[in-house]
Amino acid sequence: MRYAYKLTAARRNLALFQHHDGVTGTAKDHVVLDYGTRMHTSLQDLQIFMSKAIEVLLGIRQEKYDQTPALFDPEQVRSKYDALPMHRAISARKGTVQSVVLFNPLEQTREEVVMVVVSRPDVSVLDSNWTCVQSQVSPELQHDESKIFTGRHRIHWKASIPAMGLQTYYIANGFAGCEKAKPAKLKFFSKLSSIPCLAPYACSNVEGDTVEILNRHQLLTFDVKHGLLQKVIHKNGLQNVVVEEIALYSSTGGAYLFLPDGDAQPIIKSGGNLVISEGPLMQEVYSYPKTSWEKTPVSHSTRIYNGGNTVQDFLIEKEYHVELLGKDFNDRELIVRYKTDTNNKRIFYSDLNGFQMSRRETYDKIPLQGNYYPMPSLAFMQGSNGQRFSVHSRQALGAASLKEGWLEIMLDRRLVRDDGRGLGQGVMDNRVMNVVFHILMESNISSTSDPVSNPLPLSPSLLSHRVNAQLNYPLHAFIAKKPQEISAPTHSRSFSPLAAPLPCDLHIVSFKVPRPSKYSQQQQQLGDPRLVLMLHRRNWDSSYCKKARSQCTAVADESVNLFNMFKDLTVLNARATSLNLLHDDTEMLGYTEQFGDVARDGRVIIPPMEIQAYKFELRLRQ
């Protein structure tokens, strides 16, 4: 019951945070402190719960109510609510292995290049069967011009984790017959000072005005002097102009009002530091740009992955480290702008709470701020030829398309004034933060209507949905507190709860005990089902590749069988219910035809854009 209480408290704290003041940042300082403290406490409680759950599900600990300390720590740790999460380094002493357990919260098997931080580069990666896995090691970078390298190392490998399951990998030092992680090749550009070369990496200086990184699907070209993306060439020879620009608006607005004084002015000057890291699994361009200020307010990394037929292979990962701190940035709003060759006629699409898309059109008759729109997790432009440029975001931001082919996104804002809308203060509580985007460029495979002439909103592609899901439902990594001797035998550790992955367009919104504190012996006798499953079927644009160009084996065109969903569990007493769980009368819900046989054969059909809820019980299969 102790964990049930903390799970309930965490859900309530999240609901409080999702109140609009928590999301938009229009809250007084003491309210922000309260929100942040509540969320931080709940996250810590959930990480402890997850650590304990891993032990039980992997068979390491048989007694689930054991009060002894957890054997695993989360791979990322946050010291306080407003501090960035830090990666916990694996020491990897000679002759030892350290377990890394990965949890996949998605409904499909996930193949992905993953990363953990190690204190030394001479290590190997093993899977749960003690088979060697190809890996790459590269130096960890930080936002510090005088010391770009932290002294620690990042190790990457391709992992495969079952749907909603767990998979164990081992970081080993001294495992006989296993090739060590391959060091990345480093290239440097710096006008002011030389960047030291770390062992065991091979280093060289950048030659020429441009630099490239590539995988099997795309080649990215960067301007060396500014460290910004310039163009993308795809494997079919198609070339896209993608000119990246980082700029600042001067503003007289406040928490609620965006009141820019003219257009945004670019802040990146020629010079700065550039580090290019090239390896078999991940290639990266890190830029610490030169600006008018002694300490630049933003540095950024661009990464592409080469996992082989994974969702990651098709995207470009952008990570912006933002420090809009100090009086130099008062009344400034920081943006990133992508100038592309997409003829979108200043029309773009952004999502509503990650559920549906809305059409956004730029109008000259209204001021600039009237053409800015919310972008909770996705914005994309589409040209008349069907080419799409999509930006998936890990956090809710604002976006605009002020000129043809342009998509700009707000990164942070620092405002001194109160705008008279009720807050009573400016927005001065900026914190250091990382903003992560996944950029996707797609071409349609069948005819589609011109978005200019089509007033209806478009839908993301199936691949776009998968990119968004992997960004906003990331893998959770846990590291064993104590290393093991290599000679000590370790059993294969994995957990796979589903009989088969769900269709690619089906998403589990929630799977929970609805009222854990109310489940007394009396209520169990009443036969009230103990579990609730909510399913959402995403709507996707069929004019783009149906199989999402990777791993997608099925979509939910046919019925889904609840009875066969779980591997070792039997579903009993299944019935449809309303989303608030109060009404089970399918005729009243309008579900009579659709749900008439749920209790008998467990089959359900979910139309696109629908969310449906089911109550049932689970028993161990005999």
Q: Per-residue DSSP letters for 316-377? A: EEEEEEE---SGGGTTEEEEEEEEE----TTEEEEEETTTEEEEEE--TTS-GGGG-EEESS
State the pLDDT at residue 24: 65
Strands 265-266 and 506-512: unpaired
The model's pTM: 0.94
Q: What percent of the chain has pLDDT over 70?
A: 91
Per-residue pLDDT, averaged over 428-446, amounts to 93
Tens of pLDDT, residue by residue over 597-622, are 576 778 888 899 999 999 999 998 87
Q: What pLDDT is stored for residue 459 in this prediction?
A: 93
CA distance 536 to 473: 15
Q: Report pLDDT digits (tens) over 157-214.
A: 999 999 999 999 999 998 888 999 999 999 999 977 788 999 999 999 999 999 999 9
Q: How confident is the model at residue 376 (pLDDT cuts 50, 70, 90)?
A: very high
What per-residue confidence (pLDDT) applies to 451?
Answer: 66
pLDDT digits (tens, 9 = 90+) for 549-595: 666 778 878 888 899 999 989 998 888 888 988 888 767 766 655 55
DSSP H or E run through 459: none
Nearest to 150 by CA among 42, 275, 311, 39: 275
Question: Looking at residue 460, what is its pLDDT?
Answer: 95
Does pLDDT of 547 surpass 70?
no
pLDDT tens string 468-504? 999 999 999 999 999 988 877 676 689 999 999 999 9
pLDDT band at 520 (very low <50, low <70, confident <90, very high): very low
Cβ burial of 148 (10 Å; 0-12, 13-18, 19+) is buried
Give the chain's domains with CATH numbers: 1-69 (1.20.1270.50), 71-183+475-492 (2.60.40.1180), 244-470 (2.70.98.30), 506-539+558-622 (2.60.40)
Q: What is the pLDDT of residue 124?
A: 96
146-165 mean pLDDT:
96
Q: Which of 399, 349, 410 has its CA nearest to residue 374? A: 399
Q: In this predicted model, what pLDDT tens digit does every residue of 8-17 receive, in sequence order?
A: 899 999 988 8
Strands 218-223 and 315-322, how do they pair?
unpaired
**What band does 383 get if pLDDT is binned at 50, 70 and 90?**
very high
| pLDDT level of residue 5 (50, 70, 90 thresholds) | confident
Q: How far is CA 310 from CA 111, 268, 482, 554, in A?
A: 6, 34, 32, 16
Q: Which residue has the higher pLDDT, 32 or 357?
A: 357
* Reported confidence tier of residue 23, pLDDT bands at 50, 70, 90: low
DSSP state of 305: E
pLDDT score recorded for residue 98? 94
What does pLDDT average to over the chain? 90
